Structures are given as C-alpha cells and as structure tokens.
C-alpha cells in the first residue's frame, strides 16, 4: 500500500467544506423529519412517515449534500491517509450542536458539551500525530 501525501491546504480545505455540508445535511434531515408531524414512528405509521419524508424538498437537499460529500471525500482520501482525514471531521461535533441551538432552538446541556469537548480533544491528538516528524 502506498503512503498518502502529507496534509496540505487543499485536502484540509475540502475536509472543512465536507464538514460544513454534513452539518447542513443533518439539519435538513432533522427539519424534514420534524415537518412530517410524526414524532413517534412505529410500524403502524412507518409508511405515512416515509411518504411524507419522500415529498420533502428539505430531505432531498440533504441527500444531495451527502452525494456531494461522497465525491469530495473520495478526492480527500486519494491524497490523505484515512487515519488523518477522518479525525479532522470532529468539527461536526461542535458545529452541529451550535447550529441546532441557533436554527432548531434545541437545548444542549453542559454535560453534553463536556462530552463533545472530550471527543474533540481526542480527535486533535490523533490528527496531531499526523504532523510530519522532524528527522
């Protein structure tokens, strides 16, 4: 297996764009499910829920975001090791809760923020290990 190139500005920028698109897609999915008017999905109402989702432009916009994410992610992985690129995705752990507060008016308790902080710190350690060593 060949070694990937070091993380440069282009793949890093693509990762940042991917994380923004992923955050937008997740907000679209949440919004689409909320707009169905069905908060408790069961076997009895599953098809009604699914048909309402299928009619949602918001849902399809989110799906489109994920298709674009897929293409951009393949470009990143062509240049960067997965063990480097994937931990950089930790930005969504911060971005999505902030957007959920601002746009969806969700409440994020302090204990959840602490958990998010720990995950981000862990991801930072993994990403830092990808820095070129000085020999």
Read off the pLDDT of residues 52-108 as tens digits, 9 standing for 90 and up: 999 999 999 999 999 999 999 999 999 988 888 888 887 888 899 999 999 999 999
Residue 36 lies in a domain: yes
Structural domain of residue 123, as residue ranges?
A: 9-128
Q: How far is CA 5 from CA 9, 16, 64, in A?
A: 12, 18, 29
Residue 59's region, left for phi above 0, alpha for psi from -120 to 50, else beta, is alpha
With both helix axes pointing from N to C terminus, report the angle between 9-35 and 91-104 in degrees, rounded to the nearest 10. Answer: 40
Residue-wise pLDDT tens digits, 32-50:
999 999 999 999 999 999 9
Domain count along the chain: 1
Q: In this structure, what token pair is assigned to residue 129?
A: 């290990």
Q: At 35, is the secondary structure helix, strand, or coil?
A: helix
Residue 135 pLDDT: 47
Short-list 78, 71, 81, CA closest to 18: 71
Residue 3 lies in a domain: no
């Amino acid at each position: 297996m060949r070694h990937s190139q070091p993380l440069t500005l282009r793949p890093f920028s693509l990762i940042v764009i991917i994380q923004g698109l992923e955050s937008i897609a997740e907000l679209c999915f949440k919004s689409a499910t909320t707009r169905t008017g069905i908060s408790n999905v069961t076997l009895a109402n599953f098809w009604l829920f699914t048909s309402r989702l299928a009619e949602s432009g918001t849902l399809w916009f989110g799906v489109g975001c994920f298709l674009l994410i897929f293409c951009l992610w393949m470009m990143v992985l062509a240049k960067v090791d997965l063990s480097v690129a994937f931990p950089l995705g930790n930005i969504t752990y911060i971005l999505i809760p902030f957007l959920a507060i601002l746009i969806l008016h969700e409440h994020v308790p302090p204990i959840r923020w602490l958990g998010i902080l720990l995950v981000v710190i862990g991801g930072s350690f993994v990403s830092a290990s990808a820095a070129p060593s000085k020999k």
